[in-house]
Amino acid sequence: MAILAVLAAIAIPKYNGVLHESKVKSDAVTAAGIVSAARIQETSSGDPVVSAAGSYDGLDDNYFPADTIPTSGGTFGLVDGGNGLYQVTWTPNVGIYDGIAQTVTEGTVFEISVAGGP
């Protein structure tokens, strides 16, 4: 029984870390979808997508569903566009990512920001 308790004490935190990381990475894929949808909508309409701070409400539902929220916490926010690059940010509330703003910028590779890291 003691062996099982020790194994559980090691495995559960590692499992939670992997779970939290997968949520943040999943949200990065969703954020990249928002960026792509914004650029497609802009190309179709000829006007940059403009959203209120902390949201992506400038996107038409035909391009991206308006009720999508990050699985790791926070809300998606779309900024820039037009002559600049579209960027989506959100702030997870899971594990070592808690309170660390994550950003996906059009044309760049997403890297997870962790506490004490890049």
Reported as type and span, the H/E element at residue 79 is: strand 77-79
- Residue 42's contacts (CB-CB under 8 Å, 6 or more residues apart) are 48, 49, 81, 82
79 CB-side CA count, 13 A: 11
d(CA 94, CA 103): 16
pTM for the whole thing? 0.84
d(CA 92, CA 99): 6
What does the domain layout of the chain look like in residue ranges?
2-105
Q: What does the pLDDT look like over 78-94, one tens digit per residue?
A: 988 777 899 999 999 99
Give the least confident one: 5-9, 26-30, 93-97. 5-9
pLDDT at 3: 77
